[in-house]
Structure 1
Amino acid sequence: MGTPDFAVASLKALVEGGYCVVGVVTMPDKPMGRHGSVLQASPVKQYAAAQGLRVLQPERLSDPAFVDELHTLRADLQIVVAFRMLPRVVWEMPRLGTFNLHASLLPQYRGAAPINWAVIHGDKETGVTTFFLRHEIDTGRIILQRRVPIAETDDAGTVHDRLMAIGAALVVETVDRIIDGDGSVETTEQESLTTDTAPLRDAPKIFRDTCHIDWCQPTERVYNFIRGLAPYPAAWTEILSADGRRMALKVFRSERIAEPHALSPGAIRTDGRRHLDVATEDGFLRLLDVQPAGKRRMTADQFLNGTDVSACCMA
């Protein structure tokens, strides 16, 4: 059960490993295009269809018709990767249970966006966890975990790709353990992994307002914020001109400049050709890759080639 590319890697590993995948559950096709006239299948559906696998796309996971159809598959085990919250009648159905692959070291970062929040908070490592489902989201007994370092130059995209591959291997290993034990496998309660020195952080869903850059923060915090949202959904700011006009600007990549200054946070320092620096609480961030509203992603020098920001600031 899954929808995005992150889930495709695990499904692909199972198919290529020779496991009997009796069915794939994914989101209904989404309307695309200007008028919503074209339906776009999820990455999981596209891969499953190419492999000739049976695909189920329920609107509601509690729909009796879907539950009956799922029951006819007689699956021994259900695997959830980047999908919706399941009703009890679904996750209790298979005899060997239902487990989830989560992109964090649970119990840290329970929620919809664990990769983004780990990078935003400047963590030095993250990981993947498999756990059996229970009613409360992301709280079930842990089966396996793998730790993965986060480099200072990583962004959410590079961490995503790394965890996607490691997570797929962990899914296969978890399946083997469950099969070998015929459902009896050693697990760990998440509460036993909590400590007073490492308070738990949640990973709530990210919305557009979440992505707005606060230039009044320290340089390091803004730097982590930008890379934690890159390449998607991307941190954004607004360029405020002297006459009050505003232009939205997404920021994908930056570098830190540790240089004291007396400028207001959000003030722009530029040579007009190559360098676009923005003042923070304690230094500058040099913007490297940006995207003005309605245009393509570009380097800072390409942006400056067509835009005069000398009398502007960031808001």
Structure 2
Amino acid sequence: MKIVFMGTPDFAIPTLEALLESSHLVAGVVTRQDKPKGRGRKLLPSPVKAAAEKYGLPVLQPESLKSRAFLERLSEWGADVFVVVAFLILPPEVFKLPPKGTINLHASLLPKYRGAAPIQWALINGENETGVTTFFIDEHVDTGNILLQEKVKIYPEDTAEVLRERLAYLGGKVMVRTLDLLERGELEPKPQAGEATRAPKIRKEDCEINWSQPAGKIVNLIRGVSPVPGAFTYFRGKIFKIHRAKVSEHHTHAKGLPGEIVYVHSKKGLIVRSGEGTIELIEVQPAGGKRMSALDFLRGHRIQKGEILGKSAQEKL
């Protein structure tokens, strides 16, 4: 079948590459316009545009998805089906164009975690499994009839970065399988069943650590937003990011306030009290600094047992 691919970030590239390696033909790619980045505000292409140019594919970057010029160019490609991975919300003028429909890849087991950040929220909420879903796009966000789903286990050490990469490659395989079945007329679209949950875009306030929460819940937050935007707290009046941590098996009954450092050792690490249990910090990023191991941080700073992490501690200073 002839396909038009729509996507923007790195997450979409494994699906594009899987399509290029399949029996299907990618007629063209639609992605966001170039954006200014860096100190020089130089215009840079999206990861999908860079990949499309690498493979010699024609690219459209519309200012508006409803513009007549864009819709005409899109129609000229004569696609049987559109494939969408991490792109914009499509208007009916676009998703109704191809005769075989428009298929989206979503990084959750719909109807769970509808929205922009399904990977992050699955980790934040402590899920043991997630997966990918292909479905037909309709007038609402992530509500269309399901085509295929595949589950994956979430491991305790998974971060959003690690899980995103695993799901991206799985998604490419599932999308090709979906298109193969569609071409043979063997797909059986099914309405979404079960309770729907939301996965809205992660906000800065979602990333601040509340040390009064149980240790496991805090660690799940850290995993869920690592490395970007990153879970943060405050230390000595400045933002302090924590990229990796684990529930500690040591000093679990140490007395202290939530956020209080209850153990410091230059060779063994840094342990912080939470509302329930203790947390061992593994990888941190002080304000204005780079990511580093907690041990490296300890070697470069005089950290005292009894110091407290968190905004409330800074407000008392």
**TM-score bin, normalised by smaller chain:** over 0.9
Greater shift, 138-147 or 170-179, is seen at 170-179
TM-score (norm 1): 0.92
| Cα offsets for 1:14-52 (capped at 9, x unmatched) | 11124211110011111112131x111111111110111
Secondary structure at 2:108 match in 1: coil
Conserved? CA contact 1:239–1:247, under 8 Å? yes
Cα displacement (A) at 1:153:
1.5
Task: Provide the residue aligned with 1:271 in structure 2.
Answer: 264
User: Are 2:29 and 2:52, in contact at CA under 8 Å, matched by a contact in 1?
Assistant: yes
Deviation at 1:201, TM superposition (A): 2.4
Aligned-partner Cα distance in 2 for 1:22–1:200: 35
**How many percent identity over aligned positions?**
44
Q: Deviations over 1:135-186 (max 9, x none)?
A: 11000000000010001121111211111111100010111111111xx731
| Counterpart residue number, 1:6 | 11
**Does 2:54 match 1:50?**
yes
Q: Could you say what the CA RMSD is over the residues aligned between the two structures, in angstroms?
A: 1.4
Q: Does 1:238 align with 2:234?
A: yes
SS at match of 1:107: coil
Residue 296 (structure 1) aligned to one of 290, 294, 298? 290
Consecutive aligned runs of 4 or more in structure 1 exceeding 4 Å deviation? none
Give the match for residue 261 of structure 1: 254
Q: Which residue of 2 aligns with 1:73?
A: 77
Q: In the alignment, which residue of structure 2 is the partner of 1:64?
A: 68
Task: Give 3-state SS (helix, strand or coil) of 2:83's partner.
Answer: strand
Contact 2:254/2:262 (8 A) holds in 1: no
The 5 A counterparts of 1:1-315 are 1-36=6-41, 38-181=42-185, 185-190=187-192, 193-194=193-194, 199-240=195-236, 246-258=237-249, 259-271=252-264, 273-274=266-267, 275-310=269-304, 312-315=307-310
Structure 1 CA distance for aligned equivalents of residues 112 and 258 of structure 2: 32
- If the length of structure 2 is used for normalisation, what is the TM-score? 0.92
Any idea what SS the aligned residue of 2:26 has? coil
Q: 2: distance between equivalents of 1:78 and 1:42? A: 19
Give SS of 1:127's match. Answer: strand
1:308 positional shift: 2.4
The answer (yes or no) to whether the contact 2:264–2:271 under 8 Å persists in 1 is: no
Structure 2 CA distance for aligned equivalents of residues 282 and 104 of structure 1: 30
Whole-angstrom CA distance in 2 between matches of 1:131 and 1:293: 42
Checking the alignment, whether the CA contact within 8 Å between 1:251 and 1:290 is kept in structure 2 is yes
Q: Is the CA contact (8 Å cut-off) linking 1:2 and 1:82 kept in structure 2? A: yes
Structure 2 distance, partners of 1:90, 1:309, is: 57
| Local SS of the residue matching 1:221 | helix
- Match for 1:279: what amino acid? R
Kindly indicate whether the alpha-carbon contact (under 8 Å) linking 1:260 and 1:282 is maintained by their aligned counterparts in 2.
Answer: no
Q: Secondary structure at the match of 1:271?
A: strand
